[in-house]
Structure 1
Amino acid sequence: MFFRCFVSILFVFSAIAVQAAPNNFSHAKVLAKEKVYFDQTDVGTFYCGCQYEFTGRSGGRINLESCGYEVRKNETRAQRLEWEHIVPASNFGRARQCWQEGGRKNCVRNDPVFAVMEADMHNLTPSIGEINGDRSNFNFSQFNQRSSFYGQCDFKVDFKNRLAEPRNEVKGQIARVYFYMFDRYGLNMSTAQQQILMLWDKTYPVSAWERERDERIAKQMGHSNPFVTGERTWTLGHKNSREGMMDAYSANSVPVNLDASFVRGNKRSKVYHLPEGCPSYNQISENNIALFSSELTAIEAGYRKAGNCRN
C-alpha cells in the first residue's frame, strides 16, 4: 500500500515538473525566456556573448559595449534580441509541401507538423538580430577569413559562398542541435555538413551549461536532446529516428497507418488512398498515380487522406 502511494506521489510530481510543450513559435519564445534563459542575460547571446535584458513578452535589448560588438550594417537589428533557429526554419520548411505552396506563412497557417518543428525549444537560442539576419540560412563551416565583420564578436560570414562560422565556444552545441533536429524530424544532411559537425561534436564536448539548458528545456518539451545526454551518437550516414514526426502527428490527431503498403496518391488532388477501405484506390488515372510505402510518407509529401476512406 505504501509503495503504491509512493509511486502515485512520484507520478504527480513528474506530471507537474513536465509542462505541456509549446504549440507555436511565439509560445516557445516566451517559455525560453521564462524557463530557460531567465538567469543567463549576463552570460550573453549565443554567437557573441553580449549581455542583454529582456523586454516585452520575449524580446530584449542588447548591450553592445559588453562584448565589443561593432555594427556591420543594421543598427536597429544589432540592438535587438531575437530568437534564432540554429537549424534555420527554411531548412526544415523546404522539406514540407506547405513551403512549396506558399513559404513560411503558409506552413504556419496550414501545417501542424511544421508548427511543432518551429516551436522546438532545443533549436532556439537568443541572438543579436543583425547576426541572426546575416547568418540567414547559411550552412556552418570553417574557412579562412582574417577577422569578423562584428568587432570583437568572433562570428564570420562568407556571403558569397553562403557560409557561416561561429566562435569555438558554441560549435559543439551547434553540432548536437543539428543532429537532434535532423534525427528527430527525418531531415537529410549533406555529407560535407555531417563531417564538419561530427568534428565539432568531438572537439567541443558538452559543457555544464549545455547540459543544464537541456534539462530545463526537457521539463517544457517532455524530452531531452539525446545527443547531449549521450544516449545517441551521430555517425556518417546516420539513420534518423523520426520520433518527432510521430509525436507531431499524434499530437494533432492525424490518423496514420504506418504498416500500409502501396499507398496511392493522386498528383493532381494531393489526396492519397489505401488499398483497403478506400473506394477510389483503383480509379486514379495512371498518369496521376504517386506511390508511397506508407501513409506517413504520403503525409510528409503533402498529401491528405481521401474523405471517402472507411478506415
Structure 2
Amino acid sequence: MDMLKFILAFVACCICFSASSEEFTRFSTAKRHLIKTLPNNAKSLYCGCDIKKQGKKLVPDPTGCGYVPRNTFTRSGKVNQRALRIEWEHIVPAWEFGHQLQCWQDGGRKNCRKVSAKFRKMEADINNLAPAIGEINADRSNYRFGMLSENATQYGRCEVKVNFKQRVVEPPFYARKRIADTYAYMKKTYGLKISNKQQKLFDAWQRQAFANKSSASKL
C-alpha cells in the first residue's frame, strides 16, 4: 500500500503540470513559474525524491528515496553541485525536437531561440518539463529511453538506469507513463516525429500503467 500511495502522489504531481493552461515563450520564465507553483507532494521524476524549497531554489531530499550520487565530486575535486539540486528536465530533449526544425540545422539551439517562435514555445512548454535531480538530468543528456538488462545500482536505491555506451536510459516504472504521455502530447501538439521502435515502447508503458491502475483499484 505504501508503494501505491507513492505512485498516486507522483501521478497527482504530474497531473498538476499537464492540466495547466499556462503558455510561455521563454524557458527561463517557464521554470520560474514551475518553481512557484510546485505542489507540496511533488516528487523528482527519476528517483521519486521529495523536493524542498530553499529560497528560490529546489533541492532533493534523498532520505526517503535512497538516492546516492553517482559522482559525489567532479573531476576537478569539487562537490558535485548538480547532485544537490533539482533542475527542470525536458522529457523530450530540446536536442530531439530541435533537430526536427530547420533552425537547428542552420545554427543549433542558440539560433532556434533567436529565429523560431515554434522552438521557443516547445522549449518553454511546461507539459514537457519535470523536476529531476541535476546529476541525473546531466547523465540522461539527450539519450533515448529504452529497456536495459543491467541492475539499477548507479544511484543508490534510485531505480533509474543509464547506459552511457548505448546512450539509453531506462526510467523506473512509476515514471514511464508520464514520459510516454509527454511524448504523445508533443507529437499531437507540435508534430514531433517518433520512431516506430520508440512508439511501441511508449505504447507498452501506457498499457502497463493502465493494467497496474486497474489492479490497484481492486485492492
TM-score range, shorter chain: 0.7 to 0.9
Structure 2 Cα separation of the partners of residues 81 and 147 of structure 1: 21
Preserved CA contact (<8 Å) 1:77 1:129: yes
2:32 alignment partner, SS class: helix
Question: How far 1:51 sits from its partner (Å)?
Answer: 1.9
Structure 1 Cα separation of the partners of residues 210 and 118 of structure 2: 31
Task: Report how many aligned residue pairs link the two structures.
Answer: 187
Question: How far 1:72 sits from its partner (Å)?
Answer: 0.8
Partner in structure 2 of residue 86 of structure 1: 91
Question: How far 1:67 sits from its partner (Å)?
Answer: 1.7
Partner in structure 1 of residue 101 of structure 2: 96
1:171 to 171, 176, 186: 176
Partner in structure 2 of residue 51 of structure 1: 50
User: 1:130 and 1:179, CA in 2 relative to 1: closer, same or farther beyond 3 A?
Assistant: same
2:162 alignment partner, SS class: strand
1:205 alignment partner, SS class: helix
2:118 to 113, 116, 126: 113
User: 1:80 and 1:103, CA in 2 relative to 1: closer, same or farther beyond 3 A?
Assistant: same
Worse-superposed segment, 122-131 or 64-73 = 64-73
Partner in structure 2 of residue 24 of structure 1: 26
Question: How far 1:52 sits from its partner (Å)?
Answer: 2.2
Structure 2 Cα separation of the partners of residues 163 and 28 of structure 1: 27
User: 1:207 and 1:96, CA in 2 relative to 1: closer, same or farther beyond 3 A?
Assistant: farther
The amino acid across from 1:54 in the alignment is K
Instruction: Describe how 1:181-220 pairs up with structure 2 within 5 A.
Output: 181-205=186-210
Question: How far 1:183 sits from its partner (Å)?
Answer: 2.1
The amino acid across from 1:70 in the alignment is V
Give ranges in structure 1 of 5+ residues lacking alignment.
Answer: 1-17, 209-311
Preserved CA contact (<8 Å) 2:86 2:134: yes
Of the two structures, which has the highest relative contact order with CA contacts closer than 8 Å and spacing of 6 or more?
2
Instruction: Describe how 1:1-311 pairs up with structure 2 within 5 A.
Output: 21-35=23-37, 37-40=38-41, 43-57=42-56, 59-73=57-71, 74=74, 75-205=80-210
The amino acid across from 1:81 in the alignment is I
Partner in structure 1 of residue 12 of structure 2: none
Structure 1 Cα separation of the partners of residues 98 and 117 of structure 2: 12
The amino acid across from 1:191 in the alignment is N
Identity over the aligned pairs, expressed in percent?
41
Question: How far 1:124 sits from its partner (Å)?
Answer: 0.6
Higher helix share: 2
1:62 alignment partner, SS class: strand
The TM-score, its normalising length taken from structure 1, stands at 0.56
Task: Report runs of 4+ in structure 1 exceeding 6 Å deviation.
Answer: none
The amino acid across from 1:66 in the alignment is G
Cα deviations across residues 47-96 of structure 1 (Å, max 9, x unaligned)? 10112222454x31222333211111252111011000101111001111
The TM-score, its normalising length taken from structure 2, stands at 0.79
Preserved CA contact (<8 Å) 2:88 2:130: yes
1:184 alignment partner, SS class: helix
User: 1:89 and 1:56, CA in 2 relative to 1: closer, same or farther beyond 3 A?
Assistant: farther
Question: How far 1:206 sits from its partner (Å)?
Answer: 10
**Greater Rg over alpha carbons, structure:** 1
CA RMSD of aligned residues (A): 2.1
Question: How far 1:169 sits from its partner (Å)?
Answer: 0.7
2:210 alignment partner, SS class: coil
The amino acid across from 1:185 in the alignment is Y
Preserved CA contact (<8 Å) 1:81 1:128: yes
User: 1:44 and 1:187, CA in 2 relative to 1: closer, same or farther beyond 3 A?
Assistant: closer
